[in-house]
Chains A and B, each alone.
Chain A
Amino acid sequence: MTERTSRHSGTSDGDQPRTAEAIALARAKAEARANEALSDVERQADAPDEGGVNSPAGSTFSRRPVVGSSEPLGVSTLDDTPEVFGAGSTSLDGNGRARIGDRVFASLTAGAGLFVVLLIALVALFLLVKAIPAIAHDKSNFLTSRHWDTTSGALDFGVLPLLWTTVLISVLALVLAVPVAIGIALFISQYAHKRVARPVAYVVDLLAAIPSIIYGIWGITVLAPKIQPVADALTHLGAFPLFADKNVKGGTVFTGGVILAVMILPIVTAVCRDVYERTPQANIEAAWALGATRWEMIRLAVLPYGKPGMISGAMLGLGRALGETIAISLILSKVSNTGPFSFSIFDGGETFASKIANNASEFNSPQQTGAYIAAGLVLFVLTFAVNAAARAIVNRRKEFS
């Protein structure tokens, strides 16, 4: 659900009926409030000081709405571009200065915006600062080593197995989830009757509401034994390294991938559904007019139009899968990293997130913690890149439509 709201940003035109209702409601409500506010202003006019704290003592308080001017004068620098609401959006006192209340409020909101920007910068900064000493003391190569030893005095760790497991499990989840998500999105937007579509969309969103720890305990205790036959069948396929049998039962990348696929299904579905619903009616009708079957119409009109949206939806799902912690940590069995490198999805392992979570109780010395923070930093960079790319695709599309 979260994702659905976030992806709606700037595209609220998708929800016409709701918007119309909301506008009607809003108008009725606000008329009453405008009256209230007006009486407030009248009260203020009796006490001129409130609005003119900064005006020279001698100046009389005159309220001059700057009708027709689209440039608020002397507002804080953040407002230096023309205001979208035009005249009077910033009230000025007699000397053309913004009221103190306006200035305080504007800086307050801008401060909150700045806070969010700084927050991300601080996350990157702190992770970097705490990770660098650990990486500097690392005896083996941080990116390519397969060791992970932070308990003995010397640090000796590398993230290669973590990176491999993280990417493998996420890609597996994506491969399983995207076709299903596209199917559901088509079902909701093109096949189902409107009265059916809404509850269906709600049901899919419910999947996102289930806490991930519950996916975890369900996945390892209930689902894993049930899909073991599938795993056995695949391992019998032969010497294909991806399907090699590693004698791990239940807590495999395969089980984790299936659970992750269920978990990212709602977000991928939501994004796909959104772009499908916004396919121009003209394209759809043109396809019908050519005598296309429903599937041909979808292939001719809906899918090509929705392609960038589908890609970004898949990437948002990937970002979610990369960072999933507790479900994966409960499901995956830990395996030793000695012996030949395992490519199999029927092996255990640890992802960045599950590695950190599994060892959270052992954060003792700063240096040792630094190793885990370094792993967290790589995860942060990974998810940042994937999410930023997904958003870039969405936003580029938005400019066109």
Chain B
Amino acid sequence: MTTVESAGSSLASPPGAGIRKVKDRTATTLVYAAFAIALVPLIWLLWTVVSKGIYMLTRNGWFTGTERGITYRDAGGGAWHAVLGTLEQVALCTAISVPIALLVAIYLVEYGRGPLARMTTFMVDILTGIPSIVAALFIYAVFITTFGGERSGWLVSLALVMLMIPVIVRTTEEMLKLVPNELREASYALGVPKWKTIVRIVLPTAMSGIVTGVVLGIARVAGETAPLLILVGYSPDKNANLFSGPQASLPGLIKDQFSNLGSTTILEGGKRVTVHYAADRMWGAALTLILLVMILNLAARVIARRSAVN
């Protein structure tokens, strides 16, 4: 391409060539600037979270303590209750989503013809775009208003299922499409039933891609906050029971500390110092959450790459 370009510019310059060159330069500058603009918030945000959150993370007891009895006037506190809640809610959500999403993807790729398949594809698209707050309202309308349940952690998991399914379906669909037809045909030719071909040959072949999709799905829902607000209360204490009572989670902890921001003055070395304990904990929880999500994302990348290289 560069040779073509230089050949073009070495022609006797026709009228207007200068303006064309200026326009080209301007466009190039703008395109590079656009990329720089995108980098600014990313780096700025990550820097803020890391620099403000690292203090709490390196403190003793952050990953073992809870927030019981701790107000914005108190130092310390931990995030164990929140980490536990997030892990439980996400684990239940994953356990429900994965089988459904896999079956939907298999249906779309291996079986789906006709109106139901077209409808399903469309609805998965719609599900991708459904706001998390609407998913939460739906679960609320069904399980709390209609069936009279109480707010608890497993309802959050159900709302997250609606957000996770489309992610896994889409990735799995792509992976199943990549499995060459010759494999299926070879299997059929040997007399293997279709379902066994799918379970024993198609799925294992696409496995790494599917795992990537699941991990991306987990990363997508781990930071969701809207369903928490509607479907479960925040508890500063540890509650390992998904099915009753308020339960903490990392986004819930961030929200709670944000709502109770405040400063207090302490005596340090004979001088009065203003400290922001709640803000420290908020950024600490934010960093913990970002680390969790980023590690999951990286894991997904690594799995995807390893499967591609092998």
List residues of chain A with CB under 8 Å of any chain B CB. Answer: 1-3, 5-6, 8-9, 12, 18-19, 21-23, 25-27, 29-30, 33-34, 36-38, 40-41, 51, 63, 65, 78-81, 84-91, 99, 101-102, 104-106, 108-117, 119-120, 122-123, 126-127, 129-130, 179-184, 186-187, 190-191, 200, 202-204, 206-207, 209-218, 221-223, 262, 265, 269, 288-289, 291-296, 298, 316, 319-320, 322-326, 330, 352-353, 356-357, 360-361, 363, 366, 369, 372-373, 376, 379-380, 383-384, 386-388, 391
Contacts and interface: CB of A to CB of B under 8 A. Distances in A.
Interface stretch (B58-66, B169-177, B266-274): B169-177
Nearest to B310: A25
A367 to B, nearest CB: 10
Contacts of B121: 9
Nearest to B103: A112
A36 B166 CA distance: 32
Given A180-B37, A323-B131, A117 B119 contact: yes
30 contacts: A2-B170, A26-B205, A30-B183, A37-B200, A41-B191, A78-B116, A85-B181, A91-B193, A91-B194, A120-B126, A127-B138, A183-B31, A183-B33, A184-B34, A184-B38, A187-B32, A206-B42, A207-B41, A214-B45, A214-B223, A222-B48, A291-B8, A293-B8, A294-B24, A294-B27, A316-B129, A357-B226, A372-B137, A373-B137, A391-B125
A63 B188 CA distance: 12
A254 B1 CA distance: 42
Interface string B13-46: 0000000110110111011111101110110110
B193 A295 contact: no
Interface string B101-141: 00110111011111011011111111111111111011011
For the complex of A and B, the 8 pairs showing the least CB-CB separation, nearest first, are A183-B34, A211-B223, A323-B131, A112-B103, A105-B195, A88-B188, A109-B107, A387-B129
B68 interface: no
Contacts of B107: 109-110, 112-113
Given A6-B128, A78-B111, A85-B188, A27 B180 contact: yes
Contacts of B239: none
A116 B123 contact: yes
A112 B100 contact: yes
Interface of B: 1, 4-5, 8, 11, 20-21, 23-24, 26-28, 30-35, 37-39, 41-42, 44-45, 48-49, 100, 103-104, 106-108, 110-114, 116-117, 119-135, 137-138, 140-142, 144-146, 162, 165-167, 169-171, 173-174, 177-201, 204-206, 209, 213, 216-217, 219-220, 222-226, 229-230, 251, 254-255, 258, 279, 282-283, 286, 289-290, 293-294, 297, 300-301, 307-310
Given A2-B167, A123-B134, A206-B297, 11 more contacts: A26-B206, A33-B205, A34-B190, A117-B116, A122-B138, A180-B38, A183-B34, A203-B38, A293-B23, A320-B129, A369-B145
Contacts of A110: 107, 111-112, 116
Contacts of A388: 122, 125-126
B134 A23 contact: no
Nearest to B202: A30
Nearest to B254: A213
Contacts of A117: 116, 119-120, 123
Contacts of B103: 108-109, 111-113
Contacts of A108: 103
Contacts of A127: 134, 137-138, 141
A113 B111 CA distance: 10
A25 B307 contact: yes
B259 to A, nearest CB: 9
Given A36-B200, A41-B192, A323-B130, A376 B137 contact: yes
B16 to A, nearest CB: 11
A186 B174 contact: no
A262 B282 CA distance: 21
B178 to A, nearest CB: 5
B140 A363 contact: yes
B141 to A, nearest CB: 4
Given A21-B309, A127-B137, A295-B28, A214 B290 contact: yes
A213 B286 CA distance: 8
Contacts of A325: 131-133, 225-226
